[in-house]
Structure formats: structure tokens, C-alpha cells
Structure 1
Amino acid sequence: MILVIGATGVVGRHVTAQLLEAGEDVRALVRDREAALSPQVKVVQGDLGDRESLAAALSGVEKVFLLTTGGPETPLHDANLATTAADAGVKHIVKLSIIGAEYGFSDLVSTWHLAGERTLRQVAARPGGPAWTFLRPGEFMSNVRLWANQIKTQGKVFWASTEPAVAVVDPRDVAAMAVTVLTTPGHEGKTYRFGGPEALTVAERVGKIAAALGRDIELVEVPIPALLGAVKKAGRQPLVVETTLGNLGREEFRIQAKKVLPVFAEVVGRPPHTFDEWLAAHLDIFR
């Protein structure tokens, strides 16, 4: 049995679907029992802040995919999961971390994930503790969804930190990494920093969307604080977006974010999806 935490999110939905395709027995921890998931997924209600509900969700589970929200509660939630999983006899936890954890960056989000990683390492060191694997992707291709309403209503994209090129990654590929690590041997105690197959600036991504739609889209650069109201309205954590965009103003982050790495192909056995492929599958959200 594999427990998926974060099963209703952008990556988690792909993880559950791909695990089912692989013939795995899947359980999902959700806050809302009415969450729209495949009927093949065994749904349990609970919260990472509630160890009692975690204990129930982890009963009989061998492996866990851990996706926390990336907010300030991340270290506590990761600690709750790790310690409860150890008590339940879980064998392996795969944590979705972040690029900044790979390079030891000191921004808020990287620090939160690093604290969670350290807890998993510490718990794994106990006799019989669960093994860990950390996945450290870069920016998701799907973040351009935040531009959809602007494109549809104004024919414009208002964004900040538009100059740096980033090797954006398809959430389907993040899930494929997780599923490979969960279902094949030899990944315990390893970290995987990976991204997409090409580094693209914001202008290049906007240009690809415009070409696919067959109309012009104007890119307007604005200060980061000007975006936060719309980000919150879209259901994203403003502090996380503010931190991520702020990182792109740091030279050491830019250097790492644009790297095209062979890791995904080495682990999964196929090339990662391109931005054009992601866009073709999601173009309707911009129409």
C-alpha cells in the first residue's frame, strides 16, 4: 500500500493516476472526503497537523509520497509524518522538496523544506526508521496557469522577474520521478535534482502561448508586490510566490535554475516533456 499525501494537487493527482496505472494499491490522505479522485483510490480523511489522523491513514502502509504545501508549517508537517510513519512501520518516504534545498539557499521556502528533509534523515537513522528519497525539481510549467485570466481578458501577461531563463518541468514528469522511485528499487537515501529539457524565459513562454493561440500577447513587467493580490485570488500562497520570484533576482539561483540536467532521463528512462507538449495538453485554459 502506498499513501499519497497531496493527492488533490497539481502533482499529486498525477502521482495517484500513474501509481494506479502501475498496478499499485493507493491510499490518499485528504482534508475533504468528497475530493474528486479515482474510485480506485482509497480515501482517508485527515491532516498533517493531526498525528491521530495520520496514524490511522498510515496503518498498513509500506511507502509514502509526501507533498506538503511549502508554507511555514512544512517543517512541523514533515516531522509529524516522519515520526508517525516510523511508529507505523513505514519502509520508505519520498518527499517532494525544492531546487533551493539542493543548493542550500537561505530563502524562506528552501529553509522550510530543508528543515523537513533534516527531520526525515534524523528519523531514518533510528533503528527500523523509514528510508527517504528527496525530489528537488525546479519551477513547474503549470505555473503559467496564473497568467490565464490575464490572457483571456486583456491579452496581456503581468509578471515579475521576467529575464531569467528557467528549465521548467512538467508536473507529469515530477510525478513520473516519484512513481519510479516508489516502485523500483535502489533509490533509498538519494536526492534527485531535476528539471525540464530546455531553459525558457518568461517572454519565451509567453511567446509560445501566443503562437499556439494565434494572437499577440503583451508581456508587462511589474514589481513583485503588484502580483500578490492576484496570486492569492488564484489560490496560491503569496509568500511562496514572492519568495520564488525574488530568488530569480539572485545570480546564484539563476545559474542553477537554468541548468538542463540528465537526471530525469537517467531515472525514468525517457526524455522529459517539453513546454510545447505541456501547452498542447492545456491550451484551452488560455482561450
Structure 2
Amino acid sequence: MILVTGATGTVGREVVRQLVEAGRPVRALTRDPAAAAAVLGDGVEFVAGDLGRPETLPAAVAGADSVFLLSGGGPETPLHDANLGQAAAEAGVGHVVKLSIIGAEYEFTDLVSTWHLAGERALRQIGARPGGPAWTFLRPGEFTSNARLWAGPVKAKGTVFWSQVDTPVAVVDPRDVAAVAVTTLLEPGHQGQTYRFGGPEPLTVRERVAKLGAALGRELTVVDVPIAAARDAAAKSGRQPLVVETTLGNLTREEFQVHAVKVLPTFEKLVGRPPLTFDQWVADHIEIFR
């Protein structure tokens, strides 16, 4: 049995889909099992619980061999990771695969990277105890699916409002992130490893928008928005302003610009195929922009 947290999110639901496709028993931890069942469909066991409520976790991890841990990117991340790690240790779970972040690889000092790095450290400490679970940390770069945030302005005005639009990033498809997770969950030899990976080519926001426009058959414009304005817009849209500001602020950091542009062989070595391109992601999701 494999427990998946964050199972209805962009990466989590794809992890579930790929595990079910591989014929593996999957259990999804969710606050609302009925709603999750509507999203994930058949072939999945559901358990009500919350990483922030440790008393709900023993039932979630009972009988599980391994866990895919997606704990978000807020200040609660270290506590949530520790809660899950402790429950896994007490239940005799053998392996926890945590979805982390590029900044943990290079110890960036922004808040989101710091939170994930603290979560990793908590899992390392728990794993080092007798009976503690082995760990694997996945450290992808920016997701191609962040382009979903452009859908409203593209449909309304043919314009993308974003920050640091000329910074190239090797964006990675969430389906590929899930493929790495599934590989490390199902194949031996990944315990105690960290994997930094990204997409097949570095692209600026301008270049990504141009590709999207070509797929739509219309010219799109790009407006470079100050980070403070992006933070305020995030607050109005219900996203966490601090997380958005930190994420966009990373684009101005020299260390991020050096590392995020790198095209790495990690994904192909792990999964056995090239990573999906941004063009492929656009082709598969074009209807959300029409």
C-alpha cells in the first residue's frame, strides 16, 4: 500500500493516476474523501485526515509500505513533514518520498526553500532513529503548469502579467515530477537519495508566452509586473502573498538564475525517457486558454 498526501493537487493526482495505472494499491489522505473520490475516481482508497492534525495520521499510515509526501510550501511545512514522519515511523512504514523544491538543493535563504529544507531535516532526523523510515527528496524547478495562472488574462485581454519575464528557467511538467516520484516509490535503490531535476530547455516567460500564442493562433503580449504588485494581486486572488512574493523574488537572485537555467540528465536517467516539453504541456492544456 502506498499513501499519497496532497492527492488532489497538480502533482498528487498525477502520482495517484500513475500508481493506479501501474496496478499498485493506493490510499489518498484527504480532508474530504467524497470530494477527493470525485476527482480521483475508482481504484483508490480514501482516508480522512490532515497533516496538521497528527491524531488523524495513524489510520492513514496503517499498513502502508511507503508514502508520497506533498506538504505544501507554507510555514507549516516543517511541522507537517515531522508529523507524517513520526506517524510513519510508529507504523513501521519503510520509505517516505518528499516533494521538496529547487532551493533546498542549493540552500537558498528565501522562506519557501527554508521551510522545505527544515522539513527535509526533520525527516532525516526521524529516519536516523531505530525503525525510522528511509527518505528520498525530490527537488524540481518551476512547473510548466504555473502557466495556468495566465488563462484568465489571456482569454480576457490577450496579455500575460508576470514578473522577471526575461529570466530563463528549465520548467518541468508536473507529470514528469510525478513520474520521478513513482519511480522512486516503486524501484529499489532510491532510499537516502536527493534528486534535483527540471525540464528539457530553459525558457523565459516571454518565450513561453510566444509558444502559447502560436498554439492559440494569436499574438499575446507580456507585461513585466513589479514583484510587489504581483504580491498584491496574489492576495486578491486568494493565494498566499508571502509565498508568491518569495517565489517571484527568487527570480532576481543570482544563485537561482545560475541553477534554474540548467538542463540536467537526472530525469532521463531515472525514468528512461526525455522530459516533456513546454510545447507538449500547452498542446495538452490548450482549452483552458481559449
**Normalization by structure 1: what TM-score?**
0.98
Q: Partner of 1:4 in structure 2?
A: 4
1:214-229, aligned counterparts within 5 Å? 214-229=217-232
Query: How many angstroms does 1:222 deviate by?
Result: 1.2
Task: Give the 3-state SS of the residue equivalent to 1:135 in structure 2.
Answer: strand
1:180-191, aligned counterparts within 5 Å? 180-191=183-194
Q: Partner of 1:29 in structure 2?
A: 29
Residue ranges of structure 2 left out of the alignment (5+ in a row): none
Distance in 1, Cα, partners of 2:44 & 2:236: 30
Pair 1:128-2:135 in alignment: no
Q: Partner of 1:250 in structure 2?
A: 253
Q: Which of residues 149, 158, 161 in structure 2 aligns to 1:158?
A: 161
Query: How many angstroms does 1:234 deviate by?
Result: 4.7
Indicate if the aligned counterparts of 1:146 and 1:231 stay in contact, CA closer than 8 A.
no
Pair 1:62-2:65 in alignment: yes
Check 1:114–1:13 CA distance in 2 against 1; reply closer, same or farther (3 A cut): same
| Most deviating of 189-198 and 237-246 | 237-246
Q: Which of residues 109, 114, 118 in structure 1 aligns to 2:117?
A: 114
Q: Partner of 1:203 in structure 2?
A: 206
Give me the identity figure in percent. Answer: 68
Write the letter of the residue equivalent to 1:9.
Answer: G
Q: Partner of 1:86 in structure 2?
A: 89
Write the letter of the residue equivalent to 1:147.
Answer: W
Distance in 1, Cα, partners of 2:237 & 2:11: 17
Indicate if the aligned counterparts of 2:230 and 2:244 stay in contact, CA closer than 8 A.
no
RMSD of the alignment, in Å?
Answer: 1.0
Write the letter of the residue equivalent to 1:19.
Answer: L
Query: How many angstroms does 1:68 deviate by?
Result: 0.8
Pair 1:40-2:9 in alignment: no
Alpha-carbon deviations, 1:207-264, whole Å to 9, x = none?
A: 0011110111110111112223443455532221211110110111100000000000
Check 1:206–1:249 CA distance in 2 against 1; reply closer, same or farther (3 A cut): same
Q: Which of residues 66, 71, 78 in structure 2 aligns to 1:75?
A: 78
| Most deviating of 234-243 and 75-84 | 234-243
Distance in 1, Cα, partners of 2:156 & 2:133: 49
Q: Partner of 2:273 in structure 1?
A: 270
Distance in 1, Cα, partners of 2:118 & 2:54: 19
Task: Give the 3-state SS of the residue equivalent to 2:255 in structure 1.
Answer: helix
Query: How many angstroms does 1:163 deviate by?
Result: 1.4
Distance in 2, Cα, partners of 1:269 & 1:279: 23
Alpha-carbon deviations, 1:58-114, whole Å to 9, x = none?
A: 111110000011100000000100011100100000000000000011110000000
Query: How many angstroms does 1:269 deviate by?
Result: 0.6
Write the letter of the residue equivalent to 1:170.
Answer: D
Q: How many residues align?
A: 287
Indicate if the aligned counterparts of 1:146 and 1:234 stay in contact, CA closer than 8 A.
no
Query: How many angstroms does 1:155 deviate by?
Result: 0.8
Write the letter of the residue equivalent to 2:229.
Answer: A
Task: Give the 3-state SS of the residue equivalent to 2:211 in structure 1.
Answer: helix
Write the letter of the residue equivalent to 2:263.
Answer: V
Task: Give the 3-state SS of the residue equivalent to 1:10 in structure 2.
Answer: coil
